[in-house]
């Protein structure tokens, strides 16, 4: 078994265990350990990939997916890994585990990847954009939880205090903060891409168009500062654009 394999499987097992264990309050502590161990293993995997590559190793769609999962889980570890946010883990970790597996199938978790792009440009452009997308993913999960909890409160669900989620105000505040941190990262990533495009010359592609629209939606979110259900819907709308940008169009951007 290679070093890369020896790191990939513990990471996937950790994420997979968390995805299942978050289903029950009894096992949520074990789930959190799964997240921690998986993330440490993936961090080591990324380090090995970086050390063995002659350039930026995550420029392929599968490689960037690998990095994207790392950012998502990292963001979740920072402010979602708490008992009250168990259901956020249940939303995020299955997605992270599935995307990580897809990244492997696509060859994004191997070592020795080659890229025709300079390291600095890719670190700035891909790194910032993926970190921003990870933040938007987390914000969407928080917005989804908000809508669910708001719906339960509206229909006066008897189990509202038994299956306890974070308060609406906390979910709304966290969604806003997450977008507030992610949008500047997207701005920096876009700026790096635009600068390079101007230097080398090149046409404006569909992915860039969708990303700019995404930027406008989240920019509008921060400027207008909507509240309640409207804020949650807008965060989810922005995330729909992230999905389009990330999955549907990313394949052709670096070719």
Please give the residue ranges that form the binding site for other proteins (CB under 8 A). Answer: 25-26, 29, 149, 153-154, 156, 158-162, 164-170, 227-229
Between CA 105 and CA 116, with CA 111 as vertex, the angle to 5 degrees is 95
Kindly state the smallest distance separating residue 230's Cβ from other proteins, in Å: 9
Kindly state the smallest distance separating residue 226's Cβ from other proteins, in Å: 9
For other proteins, the closer CB: 84 or 114: 84
Kindly state the smallest distance separating residue 30's Cβ from other proteins, in Å: 12
Kindly state the smallest distance separating residue 243's Cβ from other proteins, in Å: 27
For other proteins, the closer CB: 30 or 244: 30
Kindly state the smallest distance separating residue 228's Cβ from other proteins, in Å: 5
Give the Cβ contact number of residue 43 at 10 Å.
Answer: 15
For other proteins, the closer CB: 15 or 85: 85
**Distance, first Cα to last Cα, the chain:** 32
For other proteins, the closer CB: 169 or 206: 169
For other proteins, the closer CB: 159 or 199: 159
Yes or no: say if 129 and 186 are a contact pair by the CB < 8 Å rule.
yes
Kindly state the smallest distance separating residue 225's Cβ from other proteins, in Å: 9
Yes or no: say if 79 and 95 are a contact pair by the CB < 8 Å rule.
no
For other proteins, the closer CB: 26 or 198: 26
For other proteins, the closer CB: 154 or 200: 154
Closest by CA to 90, choosing from 172, 35, 20, 168, is 20
Reduced to 3 states, what is the DSSP secondary structure of residue 80? coil
Rounded Cα distance between 40 and 229, Å, is 36
The DSSP letter of residue 55 is S
Kindly state the smallest distance separating residue 32's Cβ from other proteins, in Å: 13
Rounded Cα distance between 210 and 53, Å, is 30
The set of residues, in sequence order, having a beta carbon less than 8 Å from that of 97 and lying 6+ positions away, is 12, 15, 16, 18, 19
Closest by CA to 31, choosing from 9, 8, 44, 13, is 13
């Amino acid at each position: 078994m290679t070093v890369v394999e020896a790191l990939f499987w513990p990471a996937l097992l950790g994420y997979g265990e968390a995805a299942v264990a978050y289903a029950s309050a009894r096992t949520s502590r074990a789930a959190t350990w799964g997240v921690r161990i998986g993330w440490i293993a993936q961090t080591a995997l990324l380090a090995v990939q970086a050390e063995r590559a002659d350039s930026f190793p995550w420029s392929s769609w599968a490689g960037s997916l690998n990095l994207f999962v790392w950012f998502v889980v990292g963001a979740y570890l920072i402010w979602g890994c708490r008992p009250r946010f168990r259901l956020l883990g249940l939303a995020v970790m299955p997605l992270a585990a599935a995307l990580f597996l897809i990244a492997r199938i696509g060859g994004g978790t191997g070592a020795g990847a080659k890229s025709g792009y300079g390291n600095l440009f890719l670190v700035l452009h891909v790194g910032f954009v993926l970190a921003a997308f990870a933040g938007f993913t987390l914000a969407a999960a928080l917005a989804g939880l908000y809508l669910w909890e708001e719906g339960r409160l509206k229909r006066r669900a008897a189990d509202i205090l038994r299956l306890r989620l974070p308060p609406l105000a906390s979910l709304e505040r966290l969604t806003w903060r997450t977008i507030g941190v992610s949008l500047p990262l997207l701005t920096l990533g876009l700026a790096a891409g635009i600068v390079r495009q101007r230097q080398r010359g090149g046409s404006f592609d569909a992915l860039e168009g969708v990303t700019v629209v995404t930027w406008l939606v989240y920019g509008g979110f921060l400027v207008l500062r909507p509240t309640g259900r409207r804020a949650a819907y807008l965060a989810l709308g922005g995330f729909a654009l992230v999905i389009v940008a990330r999955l549907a169009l990313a394949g052709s951007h670096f070719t």
